Amino acid sequence: MSVGPFDALIDHFTGKQARLPCIWKENCSIQFISVDAKGTVAQCDCWVTSYPEYFFGNIFHDADLTRMLKTSRARRDFVERPKRLVEDEDCLSCRYLSICHGGCPVRTYSALGTMMAKDPYCEVYKAVFACAEAHAGAILRFRAAPIVALRRRHQPVLRE
Of 94, 87, 90, 84, nearest in space to 115 by CA: 84
Please state the separation of Cα 59 from the chain's center in Å.
Answer: 28
62 class by beta-carbon count within 10 Å (0-12 exposed, 13-18 middle, 19+ buried): middle
Question: What pLDDT is stored for residue 156 in this prediction?
Answer: 58
pLDDT of residue 133: 94
Which is nearest to 121 in space by CA: 93, 136, 100? Answer: 100
Cα separations (Å) of 28 from 42, 43, 49, 88, 103? 11, 8, 17, 19, 10
Residue-level pLDDT at 3: 75
Q: Report helix, strand or coil for 138.
A: helix
pTM of the predicted protein model:
0.77
Instruction: Give dist(CA 40, CA 37) in Å, integer.
Output: 7
Mean pLDDT per 10-residue run, the chain (160 residues)? Answer: 82 89 80 92 91 95 93 94 92 92 93 95 95 91 69 57
Per the DSSP assignment, residues forming a β-bridge with 58 are 40
pLDDT computed for residue 154 by the predictor: 54
* Domain boundaries, given as residue ranges, for the chain: 4-31+72-153
